[in-house]
Amino acid sequence: MMKEKGLEVVYREEISQDEFDKVYADYEAVIVRSNVKVRPVRGRGNLRLIVRAGVGLDNVDVSGFTKLGVKVLNTPGAVTRAVAELTVGLMISLARDIPRLATDLKSGRWSKAQAHGVELAGKTIGVIGCGRIGREVARLARAFGMRVLVNDLIEIPRDFLQEIGGHQVDLETLLKESDFVSVHVPLDPSTKNLIGEKQLRLMKRTSYLINTSRGDVVNEEALKRALTEGWIAGAALDVFSKEPPDDTELLRHPRLIPTPHMGAQTAEAQRAAGVEAARLVIEELSTRPA
């Protein structure tokens, strides 16, 4: 796509942080995912544009590059459906205890008598962060017959709340009333450890927490205590404060379903993110003077 527009393209499937730091300023535009941190260690150089093929920008020093006159963009719309569908998949897995029962059967144990699941219909989901992904999760939850509560710093449009039959509430109310709490906020100083001991203790003992946003939004030490001491019934994490995670106590907890930051890892989402990133590069380099 970019080559067809006369752009020279250098593709690297894998690159170390040190190597990336040495070469990024040689290019007019770079497209990255989450495997490297993009920081202005060599200043601007030839760089005019950074595109993060995905949702978050927490691995890019946006402020630093903006001061240098480098535009920073991402492709949030491309992965919305994939992350939302994984969220619902994790919710169902928690509700029906699917991973444990599947593992038991593979090990030769017929655990039908221990299968005590719950249905989503009639339950309340609390969606924290009502951007593209949060809204799609709310729509899917509504299709399952769930009551929807949403929480965001901004006022949610009335027509969307009417569409999902939902209500915008404060965080404390959401945590107290929800059977499932799903987190969909960007990582910044205001959201780091947004869900800690205080918030987990507000949740029902029968409720579940799902985080497919960023690892540091949930305090993992507090979550371990919540799971071990039964403050909540269970949790599912697709993201961790350190990736790959090395906290085996958390990863092996019987009340946790961990997945390897796979929210955007569908063929459709990856292609859409790549196409959108390429479009942004073509548009920027063809319209901005060197």
Three-state secondary-structure class, residue 55: coil
Look at phi and psi of residue 289 and say left if phi exceeds 0, alpha if psi is from -120 to 50, else beta.
Answer: beta
| CATH 3.40.50.720 segments of the chain | 3-74+266-287, 79-258
5 pLDDT more than 70: no
Alpha helices in 56-156 (DSSP H): 62-67, 80-96, 98-106, 132-143
**Cβ atoms of residues 261 and 243 within 8 Å:** yes
Q: What is the CATH number of domain 3-74+266-287?
A: 3.40.50.720
In whole numbers, what is the pLDDT of the chain averaged over residues? 95
Q: Which of 136, 98, 144, 143 is nearest to 119 (CA)?
A: 144
Residue 77 has a pLDDT of: 92
What's at 20, amino acid-wise? F
Q: How large is the average pLDDT for residues 118-132?
A: 97
What's at 146, amino acid-wise? M
Q: How large is the average pLDDT for residues 237-247?
A: 96
Run of H or E residues at 52? strand 49-52
269 pLDDT more than 80: yes
User: pTM, whole model, 2 decimals?
Assistant: 0.90
Q: Which of 229, 248, 233, 212 is nearest to 94 (CA)?
A: 233
> pLDDT grade, residue 176 (50/70/90)?
very high
* 79-258 belongs to CATH 3.40.50.720: yes
Catalytic residues: 214, 243, 261
290 pLDDT more than 60: no
